[in-house]
Amino acid sequence: MSPPRLLIDIHTHVYLPRYAAFLRSRASVPRILTRTSPEGRQEERLLILDDEPSSGRPIGAQYWDRDEKLKFMDRHAIDVSVVSSANPWLDFLPASTAHQLAGELNDDLETYCSTGPSLSHITGVKRLYGFGLLPLVPEASTEAIISTVEQIAKLPHLKGVIMGTRGLGKGLDDNALEPVWAAIEQAGLVVFLHPHYGVDKNAWGEKENGHVLPLALGFPFETTIATTRLILSGVFDRHPSLRLLLAHSGGALPQLSSRLASCIEHDPLVASRLAHDARYYLGKLYFDAVAYGSEELGFVSDAIGRADKYSRSGTSAGASGVKDASADGAEQRRSGTRRMLFGTDHPFFPPLGATEKWKSVVENLEAIDGVWGWSDAEKDAVRGGNAFALFNLGS
């Protein structure tokens, strides 16, 4: 049976009230501060990035209030949202605080989803689901992290975990994370990999470019590096059922994947560690469709869709280790679309003026609609069918 036609937002954030209160109690970044605005009003400001101006940016109810999330969804005809805590999660906390807060916030998010509305036209499907949080910080014990994975797995409306790129402080290729990947794989949770730190700020030069370079380039480069390190560590060979969803369409990874494959091929140490050509692993990943352009989405689906050609298992691999292309270009593109999922990044990127719809959302929807070569069914899948299947929302 084909999945129902739904618009499902898998990249949408919240600072749950408990987390917002915690940020208000802090005197250093990340924090929420109250100040007197130039017009003399009391207003709250959010400071999460190390290098943002000390006045931060405006923050309001759209960051924590469920009714605001639902209003936003209604305004954009979004049926279902899979909501995740926004960065920087628990990264900055000592291990015991992170463990306790993770447990409390996971329970809060379950309540946020379970006590929310259901879809009126499909029995048993809620409008809100969530990604839980793990206490991934230096000094965290494996037991604490695994017990939190187990907690999330038991919460029926939490379908995965959102994760930054630092792991326990040494990145996601840290051997100490091995039992964590195993537990997540075993629990069937989806990992939503999301950036926060960007790359070395010296790369941005001295001109005042606001948030443009860290957000447009730093965030996706961070995801590119973290995912590449995961691939190089062999995590996907050891955990073939691990499901990882990449923010911002995987950053530059699709564009750089053949170069990555070539560099590995020329480095015997790394090449001997991996069971497959690097391009094969793209087909094991999921990508949000938060890329704002049709050409980029088409390119990503092509890069994902050819992954099977690069499997080294089976018999048809030639001397290069690459299988004969059995699928034509159209079939490749089709199979790539099965791993792409609509997202908005709400409440970030709000419109600058008063508009009914958010430009950032409209652009992402128009991008899906305009991809050359995607059929109507494939566009529907990216808009919601793939998320419905990945998160098993019909069960």
Residues that bind ligand 5CU (CB under 6 A): 13, 48-49, 86-87, 211, 215, 345, 348
> What are the structure tokens assigned to 28, written together?
């250093």
- Nearer of residues 86 and 371 to ligand 5CU, judged by Cβ: 86
- Nearer of residues 218 and 336 to ligand 5CU, judged by Cβ: 218
Q: Shortest gap between Cβ of 13 and ligand 5CU (angstroms)? A: 6
Spatial neighbors of 367 by CB under 8 A, at least 6 apart, are 289, 291, 292, 293, 294, 296, 297
- Nearer of residues 49 and 278 to ligand 5CU, judged by Cβ: 49
- The CB density around residue 271, as the number of other CB atoms within 10 Å, is 15
- Nearer of residues 235 and 367 to ligand 5CU, judged by Cβ: 367
- The CB density around residue 82, as the number of other CB atoms within 10 Å, is 28
- Nearer of residues 46 and 393 to ligand 5CU, judged by Cβ: 46
By the 8 A CB rule, do 270 and 264 touch?
A: yes
Q: Shortest gap between Cβ of 196 and ligand 5CU (angstroms)? A: 7
Q: Which phi and psi angles does 4 have, rounded to 5°?
A: -65, 155
- Nearer of residues 345 and 378 to ligand 5CU, judged by Cβ: 345
- Nearer of residues 215 and 327 to ligand 5CU, judged by Cβ: 215
34-45 burial by CB neighbour count: b if 16+ within 10 A, else e?
A: eeeeeeeeeebb
Q: Shortest gap between Cβ of 248 and ligand 5CU (angstroms)? A: 9
Q: Shortest gap between Cβ of 53 and ligand 5CU (angstroms)? A: 12
Q: Shortest gap between Cβ of 130 and ligand 5CU (angstroms)? A: 15
Distance CA 141, CA 168 (A): 10
- Nearer of residues 14 and 300 to ligand 5CU, judged by Cβ: 14
By the 8 A CB rule, do 290 and 249 touch?
A: yes
Q: Which residue minimizes CB distance to ligand 5CU?
A: 348
Q: Shortest gap between Cβ of 255 and ligand 5CU (angstroms)? A: 21
Q: Shortest gap between Cβ of 51 and ligand 5CU (angstroms)? A: 11
